[in-house]
Amino acid sequence: MSVLLLVLLLGTFLLGLLVWSICKHLLTTDVPSALKHPLKFRILHCIFIYVVTLGIILEKLRICSMPTFACFSMDIFFAKKKDPKVVVTDLRFGTISVRLFEPKAMSCSSRAGIVFYHGGAGVFGSLDSYHNVCLSLALETNSVLLSVGYRKLPYYHYPIIITDCLNATIHFLKRLKSYGVDPSRVVVCGDSIGGGVAALITRALLSHKDLPRIRAQVLIYPVTQFTNFQLPSAQQNRNIPFLTEELLMMCLCRYAAIDISWKDAILKGAFVPPETWEKYRKWLTSDNIPERFKNKYQETQFPGPFNEAAYLETKHMLDVQIVPILADDEIISHLPETFLVSCEHDILHDHTLLYKKRLEDQEVPVSWYHVEDGFHGCILLFGQKFFVFPCSEKILNAVVSYIKAL
């Protein structure tokens, strides 16, 4: 009897949580009218809210952490494809898990190499959830692809992601011949935080003269700065899944080990010292965003009144070593050819535009692909049958075309 009662209570709780997730989605979420398959989009976001909320509850009950539960759920949700034309091997480079994708077809010459860093804000994402994306990239470009399973939350914070990805990339670059990779055709690629990491890895490798030079960097809706959160896309897309302002701040504070109580100071820029803003404002203001992306933008006073306490708690977000866009001109000018992808309905849309201008000002060759019906995180849904979106396929096809043309 007690077991039956427990099951009944648990079922009631889970059902209530589902109803709450649906209500939260309907009351707080904006679904763009231009988005393809809006019902599918809503269903997927309700599931996402449900998983994250249940993870937070389990975390408060000290059963397991939210990131652990969310990643476990995602790995179950995203079914991994198998393709007899690609050999997939799980390896470890020291403490770092990696997955190698090697096309089986004979090649008369060495293949291109791709190093892929997955997104997920340091909270979500894994080798398994990005398996289909990496499999298709390796197969369609006939490249050897290394997917890096860097360590992340809840046990690892800033800057472990960067050091793990750099170490794994160096290990791979030193052994290209054993993988049949042409040293002159290595591309780094990533989405979201993985795109930001790709930019940082490319920059860091400039000082490693003993290693092959990166041929190109492919950055898919990347994180390129942690300073200005009042850009047009941040205002216009703050309630659009799958990266809302609320989720962005939660992930950022968790990754950077910052108490969430500093969220408002971060959003208003109150943590930015006046002299720092004067130094970097030319690269970080809305003046660098084309007018066509400012439809509902309202200029605000930024940064807000300086708060020294907030600065002391969050100053590592201004560290030049972890912010791609703040590198010196001399470093930016030596970066390789770059392919940038942005999505119209993405809170980070303007990060791509700011970085694009930064590169172009230093005459770095840049190709830009903008997805009108795209939203943040959509590439993760590639190959997921019912939950695939046209924008997911557009982005993957664009990246494939770019890499094949190198």
Lowest-confidence region among 203-207, 319-323, 351-355:
319-323
Higher-confidence residue of 293 and 107: namely: 293
Point out the catalytic residue in the list 128, 164, 191, 346.
Answer: 346
Is 192 assigned a catalytic role? yes
User: Quick one: CA torsion of 96, 101, 104, 108, rounded to 10 degrees?
Assistant: -90
Per residue in 6-56, pLDDT (tens digit) is 888 888 999 999 999 999 999 999 998 888 899 999 999 999 999 999 999
Is 346 assigned a catalytic role? yes
Asked if residue 309 has pLDDT above 90, the reply is yes
Q: Residue 3's pLDDT band (boundaries 50, 70, 90)?
A: confident
Per residue in 223-276, pLDDT (tens digit) is 999 999 999 999 999 999 999 999 999 999 999 999 999 999 999 999 999 999
Point out the catalytic residue in the list 192, 286, 342, 392.
Answer: 192
Higher-confidence residue of 386 and 61: namely: 61
Percent of the chain with pLDDT over 70: 100
Is 370 assigned a catalytic role? no
Point out the catalytic residue in the list 131, 349, 351, 376.
Answer: 376
Query: How does strand 216-220 pair with strand 143-149?
Result: unpaired
**Summary mean pLDDT of the chain:** 94
What residue ranges do the domains of the chain occupy? 2-76, 80-225+321-405
**Fold annotation for 80-225+321-405:** Rossmann fold (3.40.50)
